[in-house]
């Protein structure tokens, strides 16, 4: 959370669950501003997930949330491949 809050756009609001800077992508579903960095020393990829309220996303929106998470992972893997 500290990493996200330090590197996020200062205009992003903290989510009500963890206080991470980000935005509400669907009602009750919050995404952090930074969804995943590569730790260059070790080559580790970190993917930070969305926070969801108790109700959860609408089932039609859940697929969109999963695609956003997968897109982050693929993006970070691609960055490793081109280094």
DSSP structure string for 20-72: -EEEEEETTEEEES----EETTTTEE--PPPEE-SS---HHHHHHHHHHHHHH
Domain boundaries, the chain: 2-82
Residue 60 CA: distances (Å) to CA of 41, 45, 48, 78: 39, 28, 21, 28
pLDDT in tens, the chain (83 residues): 888 888 888 888 898 888 889 888 888 888 888 777 777 677 777 777 777 777 666 777 788 878 887 888 888 888 777 76
Query: What are residue 51's DSSP bridge partners?
Result: 30
3-state secondary structure of 79: helix
Say what the pTM is. 0.66
User: What local confidence, expressed as pLDDT, does residue 72 receive?
Assistant: 81
User: What local confidence, expressed as pLDDT, does residue 57 receive?
Assistant: 64
Token pair 């969109």 is found at 64
User: What local confidence, expressed as pLDDT, does residue 55 receive?
Assistant: 67
């Amino acid at each position: 959370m500290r990493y996200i809050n330090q590197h996020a756009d200062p205009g992003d609001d903290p989510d009500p669950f963890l206080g991470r800077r980000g935005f509400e992508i669907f009602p009750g579903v919050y995404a952090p501003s930074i969804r995943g960095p590569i730790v260059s020393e070790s080559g580790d990829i970190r993917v930070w997930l969305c926070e969801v309220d108790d109700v959860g996303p609408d089932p039609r929106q859940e697929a969109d949330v999963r695609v956003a998470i997968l897109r982050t992972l693929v993006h970070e893997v691609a960055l490793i491949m081109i280094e």
